[in-house]
Chain A
Amino acid sequence: MRAPHALVIDDSRTMRRIVAGTLRELGFESYEAEHGRAALDLLESGVEVDLACIDWNMPVLDGLGFVAAVRAQPRWRSITMMMVTTESEQSQIVRALAAGAHEYLIKPFTPDAVRDKLQLLGLVPLGGVA
């Protein structure tokens, strides 16, 4: 059975490693991208992912721009998108969800918070790994 794949998009290497490490514990294999444009390049090259974890504030193309670009492409409609960001105001959460993000995780977060969100999204079974 194929392990689920995730795309971790953050301009911080540290945060990419933290998120990818947490996802690995949950059974995911991860690709990493340093901004939204690099992430789109990966998808356009044929990389297939089930989940994208997306920072908001990034150079070149920010997280909101990435979400909008993915939502504009029917071929990528199966990708579940979760914002992972410090943007915690209600107005920003509404903007991200309106643009097409499925879930929203505010930094700082714990590994348990990541697991809980992915369980809500049906990407991790209750009490187990993907």
Chain B
Amino acid sequence: MSARTAAAPDSAETVAALAALPDQLESIVADVFAAMVDGEPGRLAPWPSDEPLWWRSPPLVGSVDLRGPAWSCSVRIVASRGTVRALARALLRLDLTARVADDDAADALGELLNIVAGNVKAVLPQCDTLGLPGVRRRAPVPGGPCLARLRVSWRGRPLVVTVRRSVPRRGSTEPTVQADREKESPR
């Protein structure tokens, strides 16, 4: 039996914002990478395949909650450990062969996620509190209903950014994600 409660319908403002979110997410991620990671625009491209990405080993999954009085969501970035190390080198303007400790790689992914999520928050009405990012190594679980997904190639490496809605459990004020078997698809 579902433990979900019936949620109030979204406001017209929220409906419009959610409709625009996929394009907004693409623009936000492009801006973040251009300013902070690459120092120039145009280094991201759509990932060319719909094949599963993480079958070889569990990726790093960064996740942060956006909470509001009416509804909540989570923003997630998923990438391989090698990709996250490369991201850390790019963020810190390090040499391509520089060693990056696991902690530093996780911190870099968390900060990248924090910047993306903060800018997502700015385009979502009534979603006004940004949590602190967490990074774990695990197989990505589907989570709640997908509001926007970006599957991109950064310097030839796959990277997935998603925004998923959270649904409050009955008798709980904490949002949680609902099971969803939605198939991942490229943008």
Interface residues of A (CB under 8 A from B): 11-15, 17-18, 21, 57, 59, 85-89, 107-110
Contacts and interface: CB of A to CB of B under 8 A. Distances in A.
Interface residues of B, number: 26
State the main secondary structure of chain B at its contact with A.
Answer: helix
Contacts of B114: 12, 57, 86, 107
A14 B115 contact: no
Given A12-B110, A86-B117, 4 more contacts: A14-B107, A59-B132, A89-B121, A108-B35
Contacts of B119: 86, 88, 108
A17 B92 contact: yes
Given A13-B104, A14-B88, A18-B92, A87 B130 contact: yes
A32 to B, nearest CB: 13
Nearest to A113: B35
Contacts of B53: none
16 contacts: A12-B107, A12-B111, A12-B114, A14-B92, A14-B104, A14-B107, A18-B36, A21-B92, A21-B93, A57-B132, A86-B121, A107-B114, A107-B118, A108-B31, A108-B119, A110-B39
B107 A107 contact: no
Nearest to A110: B35
B79 interface: no
A34 to B, nearest CB: 11
- Which of A87, A89, A107 counts the most chain B CB atoms within 10 A? A107
